[in-house]
Amino acid sequence: MSTPKADPDIGDLFDQLEKLAETVDTDEEREQVEKAMELTADAAESDGAFGQVIWGFDRADAAEALLGSLLFGIPMAVEGGTAEVGQFFVAHPPFLVGTLLFSILLTSGVLYVADIQDVRVRHRLFGLVPRRLAGALSISFLMAIVLLTAWGRISWAEPSVAIANVVVAFVPMSVGAALGDILPGS
């Protein structure tokens, strides 16, 4: 048995519960461990915005992601440079694809690597994509489409230009969605 840390925190408790979840034999036992993890996450909530365990993704998280995406997206909608970069991407599709992939990696990094919060994956879509990541990306992409279209910044008469502009706006909006979701600590 390993020696416990001198100053254990809630993340250490989650690590132990996750290890326990891997060793249980029945669905009923697994459900009990998951309930203990939910209780731990609820008990860990404090007044501070940092240092909390973030687990699960619900409507409140989606609303926070929407707000963060909108706050980071408004400057992109009013900035003329967005259209210029979009025009460049139409002429250089590899850069468009690279920027889209970069946005996905950047958002993943903000959520799971940067250690802004202790973000845990509870459910995966198709057993692969964390629900929080899929939520932040889809919310910010759809918000980019709606915002740029509603404000007359893109015309769908030229779909390639419209999509390129959406991808340009999507970069900061996806980061805003991720930060908006995890910073409140829910």
Overall pTM surpassing 0.85 (yes/no)? no
- What distance in Å separates the CA atoms of residue 178 and residue 112, rounded to the nearest whole number? 10
- What distance in Å separates the CA atoms of residue 63 and residue 18, rounded to the nearest whole number? 28
E strands, 45-101, in order: 53-55
Asked if residues 69 and 174 have their Cβ atoms less than 8 Å apart, the reply is yes
Per DSSP, the chain holds a count of helices (H) and strands (E) of: 7, 4
Backbone angles phi, psi at 5, to 5 degrees: -65, 150
- What distance in Å separates the CA atoms of residue 90 and residue 94, rounded to the nearest whole number? 9
Grade residue 33 by pLDDT with cuts at 50, 70 and 90. confident
Grade residue 49 by pLDDT with cuts at 50, 70 and 90. very low
Average pLDDT, the chain: 82
Q: Which of 11-25, 82-96, 147-161 has the lowest mean pLDDT?
A: 11-25
CB atoms within 10 A of CB 145: 18
